Homo-oligomer: A and B are copies of this chain.
Amino acid sequence: MACIILEVIIIILFGTLVQYDDETDAKLWHQEIANGSSNYDNDFYYRYPSFQDVHVMIFIGFGFLMTFLQRYGFSSVGFNFLIAAFALQWATLMQGFVHGMHGGKIHVGIESMINADFCTGSVLISFGAVLGKTSPVQLLVMSVIEVTLFAVNEFIVLSVLGAKDAGGSMTIHTFGAYFGLMVARVLYRPNLDKSKHKNCSVYHSDLFAMIGTIYLWMFWPSFNSAVTAHGDDQHRTAMNTYYSLAACTLATYGLSAVVAHDGKLDMVHIQNAALAGGVAVGTAGEMMLTPFGSMIVGFLAGTVSVLGFKFLSPILEEKLKIQDTCGVHNLHGMPGVLGAIVGAVTAALATKDVYGDGLVCLFLTSWESVPSAGFMAISLAVTLGIALLGGLITGFILKLPIYGAPPDTICFEDGIYWELPGEEGSHEELTTVRTPDEAEKLNA
């Protein structure tokens, strides 16, 4: 029911506020054609393949990455689907508001579609932190707030401070991770170990999760390059990301075996840490980072991420009371911050000698004033501030006992929100874990 109300609101807002842009409107585009453009110049042909790769990352990548839990596959893929479909619409509105209207209207086209998917990605990162412990209504409420704050932060970082962050190390990953971690902190469940036996994987659920991992890994070059400038920028960003990921993967496998007691590989590391290289070149990827630099960054990101899973996550849970289901701090949080730092340093080192005429194009500025490391540092601080404060407030809103959150004993369990099929050859009775008033809340 919440879905329907939200959708009706969105549809009304779209009706009042949203318009085709120059490249999707029949009349306006044909005016451009009359002025000498070719249909082949339509940005559709230079952005749409990247958009579809990003789309796959959002819906398949994030969705299946979270299916590793043994009895939470329906919710992982299904709520991911729901939240993403909602957030991309809401993001179109919020980003349109904040980034500038055209005569009172929001203009939409392929770039707005990519940006909406990016914002959605941030929400899904936060979802990873609270996975298994929240109801769909809570997730929708979180999305409403997070998307709004995302748009505000993105505006401050990119437009006010003039930072560069094409792949969103700061705006997407750092923001989404720390927002989600703060929500998880506020929603801390001291008795979560009652559901502990369900907070783990089974053999096939880990294979489903690998589908998510591999798609995220493959298409991350498209993610980081999706909205960079055309030409060398987009080409270079994709390639830097590709090298960073490759180096990160080797570091992850190596370290995963080293930190284990018995030299065995841990699926959690492979599924997550191997991706940290993509996060960590989100800011610097479009710069002249070189393949060499990209690989060092990727290698560091993988290292930080595996060590985080092994040593930091238990501390976060025990000392800071942050129950981070998917370990988003290790995949998005620390690598995101690393990416912001790398971006600041790389930008500070940019010279006319290395970039040639590309300097102006990339930094949209004369070469004397590339964004200083200082501005990038301020951007990172702003991002962290808004994320943590926003997450704090959101956490308290979600704590209100009106959203049908699952009790401690039946977290990480699909049965509470989904009609489950019987199991072929199953030996445990599928206890349907719903009480009447929980059901009512779901319908709220």
Contacts and interface: CB of A to CB of B under 8 A. Distances in A.
Interface of A: 1-4, 6-7, 10-11, 14-15, 18-20, 23-31, 33-34, 39-46, 48-49, 52-53, 55-56, 59-60, 63-64, 67, 70-71, 73-74, 77-78, 81-82, 85-86, 88-89, 108-110, 113, 136, 200-208, 210-211, 214-215, 217-219, 222, 229-236, 238-239, 242-243, 245-247, 249-251, 253-255, 257-258, 260, 262-267, 270, 274, 288, 290-292, 295-296, 299, 354-359, 361-362, 417-428, 434, 436, 438-443
A148 B399 CA distance: 59
Q: Which 4 A-B pairs have the closest CB atoms?
A: A27-B356, A26-B358, A39-B231, A3-B254
A354 B27 CA distance: 6
Instruction: Provide the main secondary structure of the chain A interface.
Output: helix
Contacts of A242: 113
A206 B76 CA distance: 13
Given A3-B253, A7-B250, 6 more contacts: A20-B290, A60-B211, A82-B249, A85-B249, A202-B421, A264-B417
Given A42-B230, A206-B74, A235-B44, A60 B215 contact: yes
A45 B46 contact: yes
Contacts of A257: 1, 3, 442-443
Contacts of A239: 20, 24, 108-110, 113
Contact of A214 (B40, B63, B299): B63
Given A40-B41, A82-B253, A85-B249, A26 B270 contact: no
Contacts of A436: 262
A235 B24 contact: yes
12 contacts: A1-B254, A4-B254, A4-B255, A11-B295, A18-B290, A27-B358, A33-B231, A34-B357, A81-B274, A202-B424, A257-B443, A264-B442
A419 B81 contact: no
A380 B147 CA distance: 42
Given A46-B45, A215-B60, A267-B419, A2 B361 contact: no
A44 B50 CA distance: 11
Contact of A258 (B1, B44, B86, B231): B1
Given A109-B235, A231-B42, A52 B218 contact: yes
A436 B27 CA distance: 66
B27 A355 contact: yes
Contact of A218 (B26, B56, B434): B56
B48 A238 contact: yes
Contacts of A11: 247, 292, 295-296, 299
A26 B442 contact: no
Contacts of A39: 229-232
A301 to B, nearest CB: 13
Contacts of A59: 214, 217-218
A111 to B, nearest CB: 11
A288 B7 contact: no
A234 B44 contact: yes
B30 A218 contact: no
Given A18-B292, A238-B44, A255-B4, A78 B270 contact: yes
Nearest to A137: B257
A438 B257 CA distance: 12
A128 to B, nearest CB: 18
A345 to B, nearest CB: 17
A256 to B, nearest CB: 9
Contacts of A419: 260, 264-267
B29 A232 contact: yes
Contacts of A361: 26, 30
Contact of A77 (B1, B31, B210, B243): B210
A425 B200 CA distance: 14
Nearest to A42: B231
A290 B73 CA distance: 35
Contacts of A238: 44, 48, 110
Given A39-B230, A239-B109, A264 B439 contact: yes
